[in-house]
Amino acid sequence: MSLIDYNQSQKIAMQDFYFYALIMAAMRKADTENLEKLREIWPATWAELQARYNAPGGLLDGETR
């Protein structure tokens, strides 16, 4: 990590995103090795991210906007 990473983390934290939104964003940005680690720790979050990615508008069955 670097000072740039630290500074960016401060900016992200100030935006007050939900925790699992951050995890899903990290999964989207992760390289192969880090994605595997995230998938091991949060398998249900990975499954939901994949399901929503493949669903029209990110909506799962029975959901509406």
23 assigned to some structural domain: yes
Question: 24 lies in which domain range?
Answer: 16-58
Write out the chain's pLDDT in tens, 65 residues: 999 999 999 999 999 999 999 999 999 999 999 999 999 999 999 999 999 999 999 999 999 98
pLDDT of 57:
96
Concatenated DSSP letters for 1-65? --HHHHHHHHHHHHTT--HHHHHHHHHHH--HHHHHHHHHH-HHHHHHHHHHHHSGGGPPTT---
pTM (predicted TM-score): 0.88
26 assigned to some structural domain: yes
For the chain, how many structural domains are there in total?
1
20 assigned to some structural domain: yes
65 assigned to some structural domain: no
Q: Is 65 within 8 Å of 57 (Cβ atoms)?
A: yes
